[in-house]
Amino acid sequence: MKAEESKFSIFSKRKTADTDPAELKIPTHLAVIMDGNGRWAKKRMLPRSAGHRAGADNLKTLCKNCGHYGIKYVTVYAFSTENWSRPESEVHTLMELFVEYFDRYDPELEAEGIRVRFTGDIASLPQNIREVCKRAEEGSKHRDRMTLIVAFNYGGRREIVQAAQKLAEKVASGEIRSEDITEDLFAQHLYLPDVPDPDLIIRPSGEERTSNFLVWEGAYSELWFSDVLWPDFGMKELTDALIAYTKRDRRFGGLSKEKKDEE
């Protein structure tokens, strides 16, 4: 290993993609719904906990592959507000994995300049999870190569409701008037208002819905779906998604360049 490479480096054994990043349109912000862990385990006659562990390990691979392409923001859907309805043993496993992940991989994240942030109703989480979130965020705020955003206890509708509640309180106190509320002002009251909206949302596992993920922020995101289960989602799948994204014409409700030229 070269002297300048960290012994922890998740990029040090970088897999070369078949497609040159210079040939692709790279999203600034990529969001991923990490789905299919349970089915991955079932196919291998393993407990669901093994699937969740494999899925957590694959997050490291995703960071490596996104680093190869120079993606600046990566948001992953790790635990939704609806996931509390799962069996207590499974929820407990997910919470344990959450704590273990940041204790185990923080040296690697540090070595690669990956900042960690969280989005979701963090205040409602158990104290030990809140402490992990605080420690991970405060300890990584100086890193600037990539920002990994973990959506934990996250629900898009809840995020919108809580933003509306904050604005309602400001109206009630006379701080603002109801007519002052615009889309921009509303967006400033979401969980992470300083983070750009996702350009591309990926969902593996064969499901083709966004499942209450980034409801406001993803209004104009490109969507890409794959039948590959999350623990097996690797460089090939990411590259395929970026190739598809490169071919998309992002008009944001306007006309394509070709149609403008026809006028």
Please state the pTM of the whole predicted model. 0.88
Residue pair 225/207 in contact (Cβ under 8 Å)? The answer is: yes
Q: In the annotation, is 83 catalytic? A: yes
Neighbouring-strand partners of residue 118: 150
pLDDT > 70: percent of the chain: 89
The pLDDT value recorded for residue 260 is 56
Distance, in Å, from the CA atom of 163 to the CA atom of 184, rounded to the nearest integer, reads 12
Token pair 């593996």 is at which residue?
Answer: 204
pLDDT at 258: 62
What percent of the chain is modeled with pLDDT above 90?
83
Give the span between the Cα atoms of 116 and 112, in whole angstroms. 12
- Residue 209: per-residue pLDDT: 96
Q: What is the mean pLDDT of the chain?
A: 90
User: Among this protein's residues, is 57 annotated catalytic?
Assistant: no
pLDDT band at 252 (very low <50, low <70, confident <90, very high): low
- pLDDT at residue number 247: 95
The single-letter code of the amino acid at 259 is: K
pLDDT tens per residue across span 140-166: 999 999 999 999 999 999 999 999 999
Let me know how long the chain is: 263
Contact 113, 144 (CB under 8 A): yes
pLDDT of residue 83: 96
Amino acid at residue number 35: D
Rounded to an integer, the average pLDDT of 190-195 is: 98
- Categorize the per-residue pLDDT at 257 as very low, low, confident or very high, splitting at 50, 70 and 90: low
Contacts of 185 (CB under 8 A, 6+ apart): 167, 176
Please give the pLDDT value at position 6.
Answer: 41
Catalytic residue, from 20, 57, 83, 180: name it: 83
Distance, CA of 190 to CA of 38 (rounded, Å): 31
Q: Confirm if 149 and 75 have CB atoms less than 8 A apart.
A: yes
Map tokens 């989480």 to a residue: 125
pLDDT of 230-241, one tens digit each?
A: 999 999 999 999
Q: How far apart are CA 31 and CA 17, in angstroms?
A: 20
**d(Cα 216, Cα 193) in Å, to the nearest integer?**
11
**What is the mean predicted confidence (pLDDT) over 118-126?**
96
Lowest pLDDT segment from 75-84, 100-109, 177-186 = 100-109
Total Cβ atoms within 10 A of residue 175: 10
CB atoms within 10 A of CB 205: 22
The per-residue DSSP string of 177-194 comes to -GGG--HHHHHTTSS-TT
CATH assignment of 28-154+198-245, given 3.40.1180.10, 2.60.40.60, 3.40.1000.10, 1.20.1250.20? 3.40.1180.10
Catalytic residue among 18, 20, 35, 153: 35
